[in-house]
């Protein structure tokens, strides 16, 4: 993308025609171009240049501009070059202000540094960036510090970001430091230097005209001193390589050119050792011989290297499986096994199960697979080959498979034996033990894992006794069983989960608003119900005093009067032996109906639910008080 270059005189005129938001010093050399790549006519910056090669660049509007993957709206101070020219731009940049303007935000969208642009454009709906190479500040997120990076956009909608070339810099503040920067172009190779760190980048997407520049983006004020652009007076003509370097590599290994010198001969016949060359042709993840070419401008020289697979030299069984003796037909278990490998590059590592394969008599052996070959059997360990990794060696260990199969299993029954409709089987507490006779005639027992057996026969869709069958996975003819019971849950009581208001004025009607009634079932379930009866026969608000409301629900058994008191002394305790433990007992319901409770010797405390009912005003006052104090007392 190309745009007619904005001349300095036009920029100067625009500055005064846009209500004074920008000013450009008359000291700017006429060969430099000042503008920005944001929207045309939106000029909110100052650029001042002096005769001592100093340029001050300042954004005058908060959050003006953006430096990101999707947009490069930057203010630039640029010079035009032909893409065939070789040059170097350098400057010392001092960050005077960064993200300090009122209402400043998103410091990661700002940047300051030097660059080479492919075009000088203005942002439109269709254009928000072009190819470019930047040596400037970068932060991945708004909370990150800044660092100088090499950043390139080479026919891509995203920038390629290098490792940091500087120490971290605060993303907000004044006088954040000075940094010496340079970009040197030789052909398509650009060497970017920040202090004593450098990065070489190849740019192949630049068109005929390019623009080295100083730049800022967003909430930045910066001073560029010792600004220089020098054009090379000679060009590389040829290259020779002296010395030798490493030429044989292992898959994935980085290229190492230590030991060689690249000597360039220029078109004026002078020679020079160079280090700012491009390296092409090396792929660490491609095996075989490769030609590696060193390039500086039009000069180049090549060496041949070879990349070989990483080879497995040893496979070690560090720990054999915990279980090494089996009944015929038993299931293999690798638990406790550890495999490691030693490689041709001298390294070693403990392997994950997916990195190796076990075989017995040439057949793959996996966890849970039946072993039917009897005798002492060798299990071989093979490292799985993949791209860049080869293995010609194996490891091994031995297991013993007895001639007899598992003949019995026994079950310690689970804790839960009572179930209700819809419940799921709970194996907690269940232990399954297998046994067989080994080759010496001894009985061998083993507590099984859940993967060594199956459980069938349980269903809770219907009530009744259920026979649970446990079957050995190693021998399906071997089973054990036990019974559980499935019941339909029964309502035991009702409860008021949320009370309505309990204080009324004389003559006021009962208000059930807010009351929630629940049924408590014998399996512990508590469920709200909306179908219940409210008995107001005892509810009386004709005079001051206490009254009662009784609740009943369908399916709930009637309450029985257990004891009745006409007078209770202070701090009196009531203790009584349950009358119907050994003998039948007659009780009365609320309605006066007599009910015989049969003797129940096995009854215990958890089978009872008691409810106290009293209209005594003192008692009612006590149970309705919400105490705010803990009162402790001693003798009285």
User: What's the farthest any 2 CA atoms get from each other in the chain?
Assistant: 127
Q: Rounded mean pLDDT of 188-206?
A: 95
The answer on pLDDT for 579 being more than 70 is no
Structure confidence at residue 511 (pLDDT): 87
Q: What is the pTM for the complete model shown? A: 0.58
Residue 13: predicted pLDDT: 27
Average pLDDT over residues 587-594: 65
Please choose, from the candidates 540, 541, 521, the residue with its C-alpha nearest in 3D space to the C-alpha of residue 529: 521
Calculate mean pLDDT across residues 333-346.
96
Please say if the pLDDT value at position 454 is more than 50: yes
Query: C-alpha distances in angstroms, 474 versus 308, 333, 406, 435, 470?
Result: 46, 12, 7, 11, 12
Average pLDDT over residues 82-101: 96
Radius of gyration, CA atoms only, the chain: 44
HSE (side-chain half, CA atoms, 13 Å) at 553? 20
List strand residue ranges (DSSP E) for 218-285, in order.
Answer: 220-231, 236-243, 248-250, 260-266, 271-274, 278-280
Return the number of other C-beta atoms located less than 10 Å from residue 439's C-beta. Answer: 13
Mean pLDDT across the stretch 362-366? Answer: 95
Q: Return mean pLDDT, the chain.
A: 86
Alpha-carbon distance of 535 to 517, in angstroms, equals 14
Name 279's bridge partners: 294
Of the candidates 350, 330, 348, the one whose C-alpha atom is nearest the C-alpha of residue 405 is 330
> Between 246 and 594, whose confidence is greater?
246
Q: What is the DSSP string of 306-368?
A: EEE-EEEEEEEEEE--S--EEEETPBP--TT-EEEEEETTS-EEEPPGGGEEEEETTEEE-TT
Residue 497 confidence (pLDDT): 85
Mean pLDDT across the stretch 596-600?
64
Residue 510 has what DSSP assignment? P
Please give the span between the terminal C-alpha atoms of the chain, in angstroms, as a whole number: 100
Q: Report the distance separating Cα 186 and Cα 262, nearest Å.
A: 15
CB 78 within 8 A of CB 120: yes
Per the DSSP assignment, residues forming a β-bridge with 180 are: 92
DSSP letters, 416-440, are --EEETTPPP--TT-EEEEEEE-TT
Cα 86 from chain centre: 47
- Residue 504's pLDDT is 82
Contact criterion met (CB below 8 Å) for 229 and 212: yes
- Give one DSSP letter per residue of 559-616, joined into a string: PB-----S---TT-------GGGTS-EEEEBTTS-EEEEPP-TT--GGG---------
Q: How confident is the model at residue 21 (pLDDT cuts 50, 70, 90)?
A: very low
Main-chain dihedrals φ then ψ at residue 14, nearest 5 degrees: -65, -35
Q: How confident is the model at residue 500 (pLDDT cuts 50, 70, 90)?
A: confident
| pLDDT for position 31 | 86
Confidence of residue 621 (pLDDT cuts 50, 70, 90): low
Minimal CA–CA distance to 518: which of 488, 536, 493?
Answer: 493
Where is average pLDDT lowest: 195-199, 562-566, 612-616? 562-566
pLDDT tens track for 382-435: 999 999 999 999 999 999 999 999 999 999 999 999 999 999 999 999 999 999
The mean pLDDT value for 128-143 works out to 96
Asked if residues 517 and 553 have their Cβ atoms less than 8 Å apart, the reply is yes
Say if residues 339 and 351 touch (Cβ distance below 8 Å). Answer: yes
Q: State the residue for tokens 């040893």.
A: 314
Strand partners, 174: 97
Q: Are 326 and 332 in contact (CB under 8 A)?
A: yes
With 70 as the cut, is the pLDDT of residue 606 above it? no
Strands 260-266 and 72-73: unpaired
Highest mean pLDDT among 130-144, 501-515, 611-625: 130-144
Q: Among residues 107, 114, 153, which one has the least CA distance to residue 135?
A: 114
- Please name the residue that has the structure tokens 């070989």: 308
Q: Could you tell me if 212 and 78 are in contact, meaning their C-beta atoms sit under 8 angstroms apart?
A: yes
Paired tokens of 371: 């072993």
Residue-level pLDDT at 7: 30
* pLDDT at position 180 over 70: yes
């Amino acid at each position: 993308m190309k745009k007619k270059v904005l001349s300095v005189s036009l920029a100067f005129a625009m500055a005064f025609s846009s209500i004074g938001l920008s000013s450009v010093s008359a000291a700017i050399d006429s060969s430099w171009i000042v503008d920005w790549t944001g929207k045309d006519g939106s000029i909110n910056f100052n650029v001042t240049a002096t005769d001592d090669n100093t340029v001050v660049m300042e954004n005058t509007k908060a959050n003006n501009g953006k430096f990101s993957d999707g947009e490069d709206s930057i203010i630039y101070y640029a010079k035009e070059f032909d893409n065939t020219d070789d040059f170097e731009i350098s400057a010392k940049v001092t960050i005077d202000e960064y993200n300090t303007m009122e209402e400043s935000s998103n410091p990661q969208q700002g940047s300051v540094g030097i660059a080479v642009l492919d075009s000088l454009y203005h942002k439109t709906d269709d254009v928000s960036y072009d190819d470019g190479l930047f040596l400037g500040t970068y932060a991945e997120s708004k909370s990150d510090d800044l660092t100088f990076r090499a950043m390139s956009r080479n026919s891509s909608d995203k920038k390629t970001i290098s490792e940091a070339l500087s120490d971290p810099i605060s993303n907000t503040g004044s006088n954040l430091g000075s940094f010496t920067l340079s970009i040197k172009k030789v052909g398509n190779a650009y060497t970017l230097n920040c202090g004593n760190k450098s990065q070489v980048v190849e740019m192949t997407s630049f068109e005929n005209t390019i623009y080295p520049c100083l730049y800022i983006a967003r909430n930045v004020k910066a001073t560029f001193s010792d600004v220089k652009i020098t054009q090379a007076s000679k060009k590389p003509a040829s290259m020779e390589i002296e010395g030798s370097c490493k030429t044989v590599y292992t898959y994935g290994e980085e290229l190492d050119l230590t030991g060689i010198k690249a000597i360039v001969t220029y078109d004026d016949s002078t020679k020079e050792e160079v280090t700012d060359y491009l390296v092409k042709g090396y792929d660490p993840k491609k095996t075989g011989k490769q030609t590696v070419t060193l390039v500086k401008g039009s000069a180049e020289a090549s060496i041949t290297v070879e990349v070989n697979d990483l080879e497995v030299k040893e496979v070690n069984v560090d720990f054999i499986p915990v279980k090494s003796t089996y009944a015929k037909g038993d299931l293999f278990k690798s638990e406790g096994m550890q495999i490691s490998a030693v490689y041709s590059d001298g390294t070693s590592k403990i392997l994950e199960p997916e990195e190796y394969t076990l075989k017995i008599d040439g057949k793959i052996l996996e966890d849970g697979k039946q072993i039917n070959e009897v005798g002492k059997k060798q299990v071989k360990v093979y490292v799985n080959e993949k791209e860049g990794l080869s293995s010609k060696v194996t490891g091994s260990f031995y297991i013993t498979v007895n001639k007899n199969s598992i003949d019995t299993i026994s079950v310690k029954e689970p804790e839960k034996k009572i179930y209700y409709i819809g419940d799921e089987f709970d194996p907690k507490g269940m232990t399954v033990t297998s046994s067989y006779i080994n080759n010496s005639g001894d009985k061998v027992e083993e507590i099984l894992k859940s993967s060594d057996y199956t459980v069938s026969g349980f269903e809770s869709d219907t009530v009744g006794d259920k026979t649970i069958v446990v079957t050995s996975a190693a021998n399906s003819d071997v089973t054990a069983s036990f019974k559980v019971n499935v019941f339909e849950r029964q309502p035991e009581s009702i409860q008021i989960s949320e009370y309505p208001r309990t204080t009324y004025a004389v003559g006021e009607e009962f208000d059930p608003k807010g009351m929630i009634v629940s049924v408590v079932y014998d399996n512990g379930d508590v469920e709200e119900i909306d179908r219940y009866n409210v008995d107001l026969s005892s509810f009386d608000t004709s005079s001051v005093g206490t009254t009662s409301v009784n609740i009943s629900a369908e399916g709930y058994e009637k309450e029985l009067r257990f004891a009745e008191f006409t007078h209770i002394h202070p701090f009196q305790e009531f203790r009584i032996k349950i009358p119907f433990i050994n003998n039948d007992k007659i009780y009365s319901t609320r309605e006066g109906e007599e009910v015989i409770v049969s003797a129940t010797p096995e009854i215990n405390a958890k089978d009872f639910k008691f409810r106290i009912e009293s209209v005594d005003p003192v008692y009612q006052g006590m149970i309705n008080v919400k105490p705010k104090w803990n009162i402790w007392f001693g003798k009285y």
